[in-house]
Amino acid sequence: MDTSVIAEGMNAPAALDFSLWALFFKADMIIKSVIAILILASFWSWAIIIDKWFNIGRLSRKADRFEQMFWSGKPLEDIYQNLGSRADNPMASVFRAAMREWHQSHESVGGFTPTTQERINRIMASTTTKELTRLERSMTTLATVGSVSPFIGLFGTVWGIMNSFQSIAVSRDTNLAVVAPGIAEALFATALGLLAAIPAVMFYNKFASDINRFGVRLDSFAGDLSGILSRQLDGGDI
């Protein structure tokens, strides 16, 4: 057997492991911190995305059912009594707030005053704002993850490339085995930054559009309810 072949095989560099686990455990603390932050941000944003997806869908379906009942011809007083304190969607909350103010205005002075309609409109506008604010909760987190994650990944990229140059300077060798680990860590950080940012931005835009449409729907409902109540200020039954 040729001894030169054996010697060459013994001197050959070991195969590099570029699995995700290997890249993480071989990285320095800076890269590990970047990776951990990006993974945490990704899980956090997905938790918000899943919660928002089901919550907005659930509230929309409940609002559909309430709107059908509202326009069914049933007296508003009956709807209000059946609703009680169980306003389980923003549209029902706006209706309940308006009807509560209607009753309080009537009971406080024994009848309606010229400012009753104005107070009802203010109450509905305030309730709409509160409900939309509740729907927008955690949206800032999605926006932050979507805008900041690529820069955190870029920081990890730069740090990984710096590690590669330092390895070259120390070993004075540009062999692939010297520079590959640092480059791989840099690309891993870049990929994680994009993995966290892209879904956050996409779903932020979707949810912002859904909430905006829901707000328009609430404003339209409040306008319809205001018109109905306005026609009753002459003493008609509701």
Judged by DSSP in three states, 122 sits in helix
Q: How far apart are the first and last CA of the chain?
A: 104
- The tens-digit pLDDT sequence of the chain (238 residues) is 444 433 444 343 445 555 655 665 566 788 788 888 999 999 999 999 999 999 999 999 999 999 999 998 888 888 888 887 678 899 999 999 999 888 887 776 556 667 888 888 999 999 999 999 999 999 999 999 999 999 999 988 888 877 777 766 666 666 655 566 667 777 888 888 999 999 999 999 999 999 999 999 999 999 999 988 888 776 555 5
- The Cα–Cα gap between 111 and 105 comes to 7
Q: Where are the domains of the chain?
A: 28-230
Q: Rounded distance, CA 141 to CA 134, Å?
A: 14
Per-residue buried b or exposed e for 125-150, using 16+ beta carbons within 10 Å of the residue's own CB: bebbeebbeebeebbebbeebbebbb
Nearest to 153 by CA among 7, 71, 10, 30: 30
pLDDT, position 161: 79
83's enclosing H/E stretch is helix 76-83
The type of residue at 3 is T
Q: 206, exposed or middle or buried, with CB in 10 Å at 0-12, 13-18, 19+?
A: middle
Q: In the prediction, which pLDDT does 116 show?
A: 81
